[in-house]
């Protein structure tokens, strides 16, 4: 174990576990212990581990063709773009990248390009406090959390941080260089807090009246994570730009920037060597096929209800530990009492073989695979309850 990772940069605080295979929502470690996965690789393994359908699609595509380049037509990419537009329920045009950060970078560039039109140049983008949009330089600068900026200053100019949605109108009224507003409807790294639906709808109308782009980062909340294909669908809005990644291909790297603006870019404005290659888009098409079946059959809604009933039981069992439940669907948070150390719960849960995540400084985050079974949910919450009991928190 001392030698392990010797040649890696030390930019991750890793737990001791290492996994060798998985099945459903269960991961198996090198010593063959089973772990219930309530994190799904930070919201990535949307169809669980070892999915036969996804594995077959990946094998078939890899056997035929992995990569050409965007110098040529890619059938899978074109089919995926159409699929995403149809699932969203309104006409969208796609650009494919390799991650959520890259998708957000392309959204930032789109906004700047859009703002260059006309006699008045607009280039500033408003984001919300406690947001998270990625770790590349542009997406890091868009992230309104100073802790992520430390050591990387100066960050890029052109981002204005608003404390709340209600502050945005005042900023717009006093700054004619605003071209876009970038928000997460559920802040994954900001306590898994969902924005108020009425406030979001009011904002959408305001921005439309001012010709300011509404850009929604759905890297974590998208692809059925909230129970609908998009959290935007749940909120009843049609953003000008939407970014997706994480669960979009069940674990194969992919990112997507979707926009209502057909002429947002021209050839040469933006690109990606690997983005939208035949391999990743084949995996995404199969992932969406699996999840759409879960959604249409009603199994996803039933699963969400059962998972959330277990959340309610846990909060009732430990009212001195958890203050409330945050989030939507299978994107959930458990804000802790301020006196309780979040990492002690995460580590204790690991010891009891249930994998969880943290969000911010005081919220336990749960992002299980969207195909998790009731038995796996039951076992996971039993282990999580035991993990908390062993801490003797009073």
**Phi-psi category of residue 386: left, alpha or beta, with phi > 0 → left and psi -120 to 50 → alpha:** alpha
Percent of the chain with pLDDT over 90: 93
b or e along 335-350 (b: 16 or more beta carbons within 10 Å of the residue's beta carbon)?
bbeeebebeebbebbb
Q: Check: CB of residue 142 under 8 Å from CB of residue 111.
A: no
**At CB < 8 A and 24+ separation, what contacts does 87-92 make?**
87/229, 87/230, 87/288, 87/292, 88/229, 88/230, 88/232, 88/233, 88/242, 88/258, 89/229, 89/233, 90/238, 90/260, 91/260, 92/242, 92/258, 92/259, 92/260
pLDDT (mean) for 148-170:
96
**Alpha carbon distance 7, 250 (integer Å):** 28
pLDDT score of 392: 87
**Alpha carbon distance 128, 10 (integer Å):** 30
The pLDDT tens digits for 269-328 are: 999 999 999 999 999 999 999 999 999 999 999 999 999 999 999 999 999 999 899 999
Q: Check: CB of residue 352 under 8 Å from CB of residue 386.
A: yes
**Alpha carbon distance 363, 359 (integer Å):** 5
What are the DSSP calls for 218-236, one per residue?
-TTTTTTTTSSS-HHHHHT
For residue 147, name the pLDDT band (cuts at 50, 70, 90): very high
pLDDT (mean) for 69-81:
97
**Alpha carbon distance 286, 250 (integer Å):** 9
Average pLDDT of the residues of the chain: 96
Instruction: Say whether pLDDT at 35 is over 70.
Output: yes
The pLDDT tens digits for 234-269 are: 999 999 999 999 999 999 999 999 999 999 999 999
Q: Check: CB of residue 200 under 8 Å from CB of residue 165.
A: yes
Quick one: angle between helices 299-317 and 278-297, nearest 10? 80
Nearest 5 degrees, angle CA 375-CA 290-CA 236?
95
Token pair recorded at residue 312? 């309610």
**Alpha carbon distance 44, 90 (integer Å):** 25
**Alpha carbon distance 30, 319 (integer Å):** 36
For residue 394, name the pLDDT band (cuts at 50, 70, 90): low
The pLDDT tens digits for 335-356 are: 998 889 999 999 999 999 999 9
pLDDT (mean) for 213-230:
98
Percent of the chain with pLDDT over 70: 99
Instruction: Say whether pLDDT at 219 is over 70.
Output: yes
**Alpha carbon distance 250, 284 (integer Å):** 7
Residue 64, C-beta contacts closer than 8 angstroms, at least 6 positions apart: 278
pLDDT score of 393: 80
330, 204, 42: which is closest to 196 by C-alpha? Answer: 204
Judged by DSSP in three states, 350 sits in helix
Complete domains list, the chain, with CATH: 19-51+298-390 (3.90.1150.10), 65-295 (3.40.640.10)
Predicted TM-score (pTM) of this structure: 0.96
Beta 34-37 vs 354-355: how paired, if at all? parallel
Instruction: Say whether pLDDT at 2 is over 80.
Output: no
Instruction: Say whether pLDDT at 26 is over 80.
Output: yes
Q: Is the peptide bond before 154 cis (omega within 30 degrees of 0)?
A: yes
Instruction: Say whether pLDDT at 1 is over 60.
Output: no
b or e along 131-165 (b: 16 or more beta carbons within 10 Å of the residue's beta carbon)?
bbbbebebbbbbbbbeebeeeeeebeebbbbbeeb
Beta strand spans in 30-172 (E): 34-37, 93-97, 124-128, 159-162
Q: Check: CB of residue 45 under 8 Å from CB of residue 250.
A: yes
pLDDT (mean) for 368-376:
98
Token pair recorded at residue 219? 């890297």
pLDDT score of 6: 85
């Amino acid at each position: 174990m001392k030698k392990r990772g010797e040649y890696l940069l030390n930019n991750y605080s890793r737990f001791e576990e290492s996994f060798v295979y998985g099945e459903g929502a269960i991961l198996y470690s090198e010593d063959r212990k089973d772990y219930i996965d309530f994190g799904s690789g930070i919201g990535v393994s949307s169809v669980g581990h070892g999915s036969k359908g996804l594995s077959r699609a990946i094998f078939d595509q890899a056997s035929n063709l992995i990569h050409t380049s965007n110098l040529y037509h890619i059938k899978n990419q074109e089919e995926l773009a159409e699929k995403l537009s149809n699932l969203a329920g309104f006409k969208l045009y796609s650009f494919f990248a390799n991650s959520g950060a890259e998708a957000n970078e392309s959204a930032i560039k789109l906004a700047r390009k859009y703002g260059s039109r006309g006699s008045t140049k607009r280039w500033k983008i408003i984001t919300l406090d406690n947001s998270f949009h990625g770790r590349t330089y542009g997406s890091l600068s868009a992230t309104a959390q100073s802790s992520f900026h430390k050591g990387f200053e100066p960050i890029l100019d052109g981002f204005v941080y608003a404390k709340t949605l209600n502050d945005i109108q005042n900023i717009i009224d006093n700054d004619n260089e605003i071209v876009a507003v970038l928000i997460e409807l559920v802040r994954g790294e900001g306590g898994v807090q969902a924005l108020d639906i009425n406030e979001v709808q009011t904002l959408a109308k305001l921005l439309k009246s001012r010709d300011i782009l509404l850009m929604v980062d759905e890297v974590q909340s998208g692809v059925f994570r909230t129970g609908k294909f998009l959290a935007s669908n749940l909120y009843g809005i049609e953003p000008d730009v939407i970014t997706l990644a994480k669960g979009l291909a069940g674990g194969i790297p992919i990112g997507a920037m979707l926009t209502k603006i057909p002429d947002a870019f021209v050839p040469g404005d933006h690109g990606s060597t690997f983005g939208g290659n035949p391999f990743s888009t084949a995996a995404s098409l199969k992932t969406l096929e699996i999840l759409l079946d879960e959604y249409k059959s009603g199994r996803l809604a039933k699963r969400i209800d059962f998972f959330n009933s277990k959340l309610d039981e846990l909060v009732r069992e430990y009212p001195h530990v958890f203050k409330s439940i945050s989030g939507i669907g299978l994107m959930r948070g458990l804000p802790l009492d301020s006196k309780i150390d979040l990492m002690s719960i995460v580590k204790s849960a690991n010891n009891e073989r249930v994998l969880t995540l943290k969000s911010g400084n005081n919220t336990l985050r749960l992002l299980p695979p969207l195909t998790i079974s009731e038995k796996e949910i039951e076992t996971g919450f039993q282990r999580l309850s035991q993990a908390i009991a062993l801490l003797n928190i009073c």
